Structure 1
Amino acid sequence: MNRKNFLLSMGAAAMAGPFFMNELQAAVRKKSNIKPIEGSWFEFQHHSAAEGKYWNPTLEKFTAEQWDAKVKELADAGMRYLVLLDVAIYGKSFYPTSLLPQHEMGCDDPLEAVLAAADKYGIRFFVSNGFFGEWTKPAMLMQDRTVNKLRLKAMNELAEKYGHHKSFYGWYYPNETGIHGHYDDVFINYVNTSSAEAAKLMPKAKTLIAPYGTRNVEYGEHYERQLEQLDVDFIAYQDEIGVEKTKVEESAGIFENLYKMHKKAAKSRLWADVEVFRFEGKVYNSALLPAPAERVVQQLEAVSPYVEKILIYQYTGMINKPGSDVFAGHPDSVQLYDGLVRAGALKGKK
C-alpha cells in the first residue's frame, strides 16, 4: 500500500466509524511485523511416500514445461530462493548421471528444467549435495568413505553440468544429525569438507544448512565457538512447529537467543526455516497437510525480528495459487496461499 492509498483508506475508514478504523490499523501493524517469505524448500519427490501422498504422484509426471510453470508461480509469489532438498534418493538420481540409475519422471532432466526456469524468473537455487546412501542414517552418511567419495564426485559433476546457470546460487547440505546442546564434530567435519569442495568448484557459491533440534541449543561459549568453526554462509534453523517439537509461543524466545549467539560469533548469517505443514495423523507417519494460515502467520511474527530472511518448508504441496495450472498438493493449499497473501507474507495472484 503506497502512502497516498494508505491515507485515503485511513480517511475512508475514519468516516465509516471507529470499528473499521481499528481494523485497518491492526492490519497495517500486523503486516509491518512480518518479514516476507523469500524462499522455500523444493523437491522433485518427497522422501516419504506417506508424507507426500498428495503431491508426489503429480510431480512424478511433470514435464519440463510444467516445472517451468511451477517455478514461475513461486517467483510470482515473491520467492527469491529455492532450496533443492535432494538430487538423489533411494539409490537413484533426479538428473542424468553415470554415478547412479535415474528415477523415471515425466521429464528427462528435471534439474535442468528448474534451473533454466529459475534463470528466467530471477530465482536463486541452493542445489543439494545429497542424498547418497541411506538418508535415514545421516551420521553414517557423514562418515562412510564410499558415500563421501560419491558425494564429492556428484558435486563435481553437478558443477560441471549445471554450474553455467546463473540461478545456481549455492549449495545445500541436507544431512543433519540434529543439535543436542551442540553440534556433533562429525557434522562440523561434513559441512566443512563439503564447503571446501564447493569453494574449489564454484568459488562464488554460497552455502546453506538447516539444522533441527533448534530448541535444544545450549547457549554459551562452546556453541559460539562451533558457529565460528562452521564454514557455511547461512544457517536456517527449523522452527519445528510442524513436527510438534516446539510451540508457537516458544519460538520467539528461541530465535532471540540464536540471534544473540550469531551476533557474537559474527560468522554465518541467521535465517529461519518455518514449517508451514501439519500432519494428517501421527507425526512422521502420515500425510503432510497445509497448516492453518493463522498459525503460520504467528510463526512468521515470532521469528521476523531476529532473522535476516525467512524460508519455509515448503511451498511444494503445501501452497498453491488458486487456479494454478500446475496444482500439486492438498486442496487446502489454496487457503494457505490466500491467508499468507492477506498477511503480506506472499505476493498476490497475477
Structure 2
Amino acid sequence: MKRITGSWFDFYHCNPYEGDTWNAATQQFSVNDWDAKIAEMAEAGMDTLILLSVALHGKAFYPSDVMPLRWDMLCPDPLEAVLTAGDRLGLSIYLGLGFFTTPIMGSLSLEGDPSPIAREMAKELASRYGRHTSFAGWYLPVEAAIYGGYFPENYIYYANQMSDFLRALGPSKVLIAPYGTRSVKGDSAFITQLRFLDVDYIAYQDEIGVSRTTFEAVRETFLRLREAHDLADKPLWADIELFRFQGKVLYPGSVERIIRQIEVVSPLVDKTLCYQYHGLMNKPGSKAHAGHESSIELYQGYMDYVRSKGLL
C-alpha cells in the first residue's frame, strides 16, 4: 500500500464551474499564502506537485513578455512563490505548459510541432525559473484521450515533439496524465506505443471521480497497465480523482471512497498522484484555506488513514 505522494494544483481552475469553491480564494493568495499551502501539501506527504497550467485563455499567471495579458491575482508572481516554497521544502514541481488558447485544449495538429506560442512560453519559463531546484519538469495539459484501447497516433506525435523541444531547454522530465484509462488494451500494440511514446511519466486517471468505471474494472485495468509498463520498461503512475460532482462543481469525495481508490490502485503502481489536494483538502485551521468546508473532513479522514497504516 502506498500513500498519495503527489498532487495537481492550479492558480485558477481551467473550468470556472468546477473550481467554483476555491477560485476566488486562490486569486487572493499572497506570497505567504502560497508558501503556507505548498508547505501544507508537503506536510501531508506530497513530494511532487503539478501545476495545471501557466496560462489560461490567452492570459498568463506570471509576469510574461510573451503573453502580456495577466490574470488578476493578488500575488504578483504566484509561480515564483510556489517554486521558492518548493526549493525550501525539497519538492519536485512540474509546470503545465498551457492553456494558451480558447478552447483550452487547442488543436493537437497545431500545437504538436510544437506551436510558436508553446515554444516561446517554454523558453521564457526555462529562462525565468530554471534556477529553481524544485522546477523538475514539464506537464503537458493537453490530455491524451485513450480511445478503443490505444493512444491516438497524433497524440504520440504531439507528445514526442514537445518532449524533444522541452528536453533541449531543461529541465528534462515530461509528465502526461491520460483519460480513457478504462479502455486500455494492454496488448502488444499498446506496449509498442508505450515504447515509442517519449515521455518519462504517465499518470493514468482512475476515472472514479467522473463515475465512468467501477473499482473492479479499475483493478483489472491497472493490472493490464502494470504488465504492459513492465514489458515496456516504463514507470507506472496513477492519478486518482478525489472529487465528486455536485452539478458542475467539484466537491471532495467521501473519505471511504478515496481510501478504497488508494487500496485498489496504489499496490499496482510506482507512484500515486491525486487530482487534486488543492481545493479538495484543507488542514484544519489552514492559513491558506481554499475550498468547501468538507475539504477539512477529507483531509482529516485521509491523514488518519495513512497514519493508521504507518504510511506517513
Report TM bin, short chain: over 0.9
Aligned to 2:161: 193
What amino acid does structure 1 have at the position aligned with 2:41?
L
Q: Deviations over 1:5-35 (max 9, x none)?
A: xxxxxxxxxxxxxxxxxxxxxxxxxxxxx30
What amino acid does structure 2 have at the position aligned with 1:207?
V
CA shift for structure 1 position 145? 7.7
Alignment equivalent of 2:71, drawn from 71, 94, 103: 103
- Runs of 4 or more, structure 1, over 3 Å off, are 135-138, 144-147, 345-348
CA shift for structure 1 position 135? 4.2
SS of equivalent residue, structure 2 residue 216:
helix
CA shift for structure 1 position 347? 11
Aligned to 1:160: 127
Structure 1 pair 161/347, CA: closer, same or farther in 2 (3 Å)?
A: farther
Alignment equivalent of 1:210, drawn from 150, 156, 177: 177
Aligned to 1:317: 279
Structure 1 pair 347/75, CA: closer, same or farther in 2 (3 Å)?
A: farther
Aligned to 1:122: 90
Unaligned 5+ runs, structure 1: 1-33
Alignment equivalent of 1:225, drawn from 192, 195, 202: 192
Matched residues, number: 308
SS of equivalent residue, structure 1 residue 305:
helix
Structure 1 pair 233/160, CA: closer, same or farther in 2 (3 Å)?
A: same
Checking the alignment, whether the CA contact within 8 Å between 1:40 and 1:313 is kept in structure 2 is yes
Q: Please give the alpha-carbon distance, in whole angstroms, between the structure 2 residues aligned to 1:260 and 1:183.
A: 17
Aligned to 1:36: 3
Checking the alignment, whether the CA contact within 8 Å between 1:36 and 1:310 is kept in structure 2 is yes
**RMSD value, Cα:** 1.8
Aligned to 2:46: 79
Aligned to 1:300: 262
SS of equivalent residue, structure 2 residue 122:
helix
Instruction: Spell out the pairing of 1:260-339 with structure 2 (5 A cutoff).
Output: 260-266=227-233, 268-281=234-247, 286-339=248-301
Q: Please give the alpha-carbon distance, in whole angstroms, between the structure 1 residues aligned to 2:274 and 2:109.
A: 25
Percent of aligned pairs sharing the same letter? 45
Q: Please give the alpha-carbon distance, in whole angstroms, between the structure 1 residues aligned to 2:103 and 2:183.
A: 22
Structure 1 pair 337/290, CA: closer, same or farther in 2 (3 Å)?
A: same
Unaligned 5+ runs, structure 2: none
CA shift for structure 1 position 103? 0.8
CA shift for structure 1 position 143? 2.5
Q: Please give the alpha-carbon distance, in whole angstroms, between the structure 1 residues aligned to 2:174 and 2:295.
A: 30
Checking the alignment, whether the CA contact within 8 Å between 1:134 and 1:141 is kept in structure 2 is no
What amino acid does structure 2 have at the position aligned with 1:287?
V
Q: Which stretch has the larger CA shift, 183-192 or 164-173?
A: 183-192
Aligned to 1:341: 303
Checking the alignment, whether the CA contact within 8 Å between 2:113 and 2:161 is kept in structure 1 is no
SS of equivalent residue, structure 1 residue 83:
strand
CA shift for structure 1 position 50? 1.0
Structure 1 pair 144/273, CA: closer, same or farther in 2 (3 Å)?
A: closer
Checking the alignment, whether the CA contact within 8 Å between 1:237 and 1:272 is kept in structure 2 is yes
Aligned to 1:48: 15
Structure 1 pair 144/84, CA: closer, same or farther in 2 (3 Å)?
A: closer
SS of equivalent residue, structure 1 residue 98:
coil
Q: Which stretch has the larger CA shift, 125-134 or 207-216?
A: 125-134
What amino acid does structure 1 have at the position aligned with 2:76?
D
Checking the alignment, whether the CA contact within 8 Å between 2:114 and 2:161 is kept in structure 1 is no
Aligned to 1:31: none
SS of equivalent residue, structure 2 residue 267:
coil
Q: Please give the alpha-carbon distance, in whole angstroms, between the structure 2 residues aligned to 1:177 and 1:142.
A: 13
Checking the alignment, whether the CA contact within 8 Å between 2:114 and 2:162 is kept in structure 1 is no
Alignment equivalent of 2:56, drawn from 46, 67, 89: 89
Q: Please give the alpha-carbon distance, in whole angstroms, between the structure 1 residues aligned to 2:33 and 2:309.
A: 21
Alignment equivalent of 2:152, drawn from 172, 180, 184: 184
CA shift for structure 1 position 345? 7.0
